[in-house]
């Protein structure tokens, strides 16, 4: 179960670290082609906050179990990222973006599995 956690956690951490850092460092004009909601449906301040949460969540999936310090934070990070995706799916469905919602469903599933597997750490 620990191996399964690490596979899922590393994949999720890579995804969220990348997506979050894009939201933190790119301008609205740079984000618009890949994230049409950024700056239009959601203010750039909130976009930056979401990016920060994603990067911190990615760190929370990996660092606590890796260092052995407060490994329960890994489950909290997985739950937090899962909730974030539920909210993201709501935004995408509200915009009629069914294709993006499929990615949300996959990330919700992986986040839930990571939270469950984190109980064995």
The pTM assigned to this predicted structure is: 0.93
pLDDT score of 121 more than 80: no
Q: Give me the pLDDT at residue 1, please.
A: 87
Encoded tokens for 107: 């990330």
Distance between CA atoms of 89 and 87, rounded to whole angstroms?
5
Distance between CA atoms of 114 and 109, rounded to whole angstroms?
9
Distance between CA atoms of 18 and 64, rounded to whole angstroms?
20
Calculate the average pLDDT of the chain: 95
Is the model more confident about 39 or about 3? 3
pLDDT score of 120 more than 90: no
**For residue 38, which phi and psi values (nearest 5 degrees)?**
-70, 115
Of the candidates 49, 48, 62, 47, the residue with the CA atom closest to the CA atom of residue 15: 62
């Amino acid at each position: 179960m620990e191996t399964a956690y690490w596979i899922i956690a590393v994949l999720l951490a890579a995804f969220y670290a990348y997506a979050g850092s894009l939201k933190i460092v790119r301008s609205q004009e740079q984000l618009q082609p890949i994230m049409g909601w950024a700056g239009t449906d959601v203010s750039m301040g909130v976009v930056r906050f979401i990016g920060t949460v994603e990067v911190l969540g990615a760190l929370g999936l990996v660092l606590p179990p890796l260092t052995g310090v407060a490994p329960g934070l890994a489950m909290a990070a997985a739950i937090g990222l899962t909730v974030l995706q539920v909210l993201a799916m709501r935004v995408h469905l509200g915009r009629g973006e069914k294709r993006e919602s499929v990615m949300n469903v996959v990330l919700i599933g992986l986040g839930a599995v990571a939270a469950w597997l984190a109980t064995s750490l």
